[in-house]
C-alpha cells in the first residue's frame, strides 16, 4: 500500500532575512491539502515564525550566521521540517486505537506504508506540533483496503456417479468466498481432456453470482477424448484471481436418456485462498 497526498514544496531561502516569509509561503502552498486542518497549519506557521525570530536575534552568533549560505539553507529546512512535518497513523479497529507509522515533510509528495497483514486500515495525518492530541479525538481521514488473498472457490457436480453420457444434462454448483468480491465475479469454462494434445478452455458463461447452480449439457466430443473438465474463475476488488475446478467427467458416446430431477452433489474444495473474516 502506498499512501499518497498532494504535498510538494521546496524551500528557497537566499538569506536569513527572507526566512520570515516562509511561514506565509508554506501556508499558501498547503492551502489545498484536504487532510490537514487549516488551524493546525496556522499553528505550525506561528511556531515557525517564533523560530525565525529566535534565529534572527542570533545573527551575530556563530555558527549559524557565519555559516555559508548553503548551510544556512539546510539549517532552515531542518527547522521547518521539525515543526511542519506530519505524523501518519493507522488503525484497524475503526479508529479506536492508533499506531504511529512514520512521518513526511517538505518536498516529500507521498508516504509509503507497508501493511503488516490484510485488512481495512484507517489513515490519519496530524502535525508534529500536536503531540498532545488525544487518540480518542482523531478521525479517520482515508480508508484503504489491503487484500492479497485470492477468492476461495468450491465446485460440485451432480449426479456424482460416473460415467457420464453425451447429451446428458448435469448440474454444476459453485460457491465463491472472499471479503471483497466484485459484483458478479464468476466465469465458467470447460475443456475437453485429451492426454495426446493440449486443448483450450472454452468460455461458457460470465457475470455469475458468488454462488448458484447452472445446468450444463454434455456435448459431443472427439473420439479420442478422455472426458470434460469445468473451471470457475473469480476476481476480487484487489485484482486477485481464484480458480476452482470440477473433477474430470469421464464421458461415453451413447446417450442414457436420463435427466437429473433433483441435484445431488459431492463438494470439492479447491484451494484458492483463505476465507476473509
Copy the grid coordinates of residue 44.
505550525
> pLDDT at position 65, please?
36
pLDDT value for 224:
78
Say if CB 255 and CB 166 are below 8 A apart. Answer: yes
Helix ranges (H only) for the chain are: 21-29, 38-57, 69-84
For the chain, what are the domain ranges?
2-146, 152-270
CA dihedral 244, 248, 251, 255 (to 10 degrees): -40
pLDDT of the chain, 277 residues: tens digit per residue: 333 333 333 333 333 334 445 444 544 444 433 334 445 445 555 555 554 454 444 443 333 333 445 554 555 555 544 444 556 677 766 666 777 777 666 556 667 777 788 888 888 777 655 555 556 667 777 788 888 889 999 999 999 877 898 889 999 999 999 988 888 999 999 999 988 888 999 999 999 999 999 999 988 888 778 889 999 999 998 889 999 999 999 988 765 444 444 334 444 333 333 333 3
pLDDT at 28: 46
CATH number of 152-270: 2.60.40.1930
Position 118 scores a pLDDT of 84
CB atoms near residue 248 (< 10 Å): 14
**pLDDT score at 274:** 33
**Cell, residue 257:** 436418456
Query: Are residues 157 and 172 in contact, defined by beta-carbon separation less than 8 angstroms?
Result: yes
Residue 50: the pLDDT is 53
Q: What are residue 223's phi and psi, to 5 degrees?
A: -60, -35
pLDDT, residue 229, reads 94
> Cα(25)–Cα(76) distance, rounded to whole angstroms?
14
pTM for the full predicted model: 0.54
Amino acid at each position: 500500500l502506498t499512501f499518497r497526498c498532494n504535498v510538494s514544496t521546496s524551500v528557497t531561502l537566499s538569506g536569513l532575512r527572507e526566512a520570515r516569509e516562509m511561514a506565509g509561503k508554506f501556508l499558501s502552498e498547503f492551502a489545498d491539502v484536504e487532510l490537514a486542518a487549516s488551524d493546525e497549519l496556522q499553528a505550525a506557521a506561528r511556531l515557525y515564525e517564533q523560530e525565525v525570530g529566535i534565529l534572527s536575534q542570533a545573527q551575530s552568533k556563530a555558527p549559524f550566521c557565519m555559516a555559508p549560505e548553503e548551510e544556512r539553507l539546510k539549517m532552515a529546512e531542518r527547522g521547518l521540517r521539525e515543526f511542519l512535518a506530519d505524523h501518519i497513523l493507522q488503525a484497524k479497529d475503526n479508529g479506536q486505537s492508533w499506531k504511529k507509522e512514520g512521518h513526511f515533510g517538505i518536498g516529500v509528495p507521498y508516504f509509503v506504508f507497508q501493511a503488516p497483514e490484510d485488512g481495512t486500515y484507517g489513515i490519519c495525518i496530524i502535525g508534529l506540533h500536536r503531540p498532545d492530541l488525544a487518540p480518542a479525538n482523531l478521525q479517520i481521514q482515508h480508508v484503504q483496503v489491503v487484500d492479497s488473498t485470492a477468492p476461495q472457490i468450491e465446485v460440485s457436480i451432480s449426479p456424482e456417479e460416473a460415467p457420464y453420457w453425451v447429451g446428458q444434462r448435469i448440474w454444476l454448483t459453485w460457491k465463491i468466498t472472499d471479503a471483497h468480491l466484485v459484483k458478479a465475479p464468476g466465469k465458467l469454462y470447460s475443456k475437453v481432456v485429451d492426454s495426446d494434445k493440449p486443448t483450450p478452455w472454452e468460455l461458457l458463461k460470465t457475470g455469475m453470482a458468488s454462488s448458484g447452480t447452472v445446468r450444463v449439457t454434455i456435448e459431443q466430443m472427439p473420439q479420442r477424448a478422455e472426458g470434460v473438465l469445468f473451471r470457475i474463475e473469480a476476481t476480487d476488488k484487489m485484482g486477485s484471481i481464484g480458480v476452482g475446478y470440477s473433477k474430470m467427467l469421464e464421458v461415453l458416446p451413447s446417450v442414457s436418456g436420463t435427466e437429473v430431477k433433483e441435484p445431488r452433489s459431492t463438494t470439492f474444495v479447491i484451494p484458492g485462498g483463505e476465507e476473509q473474516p
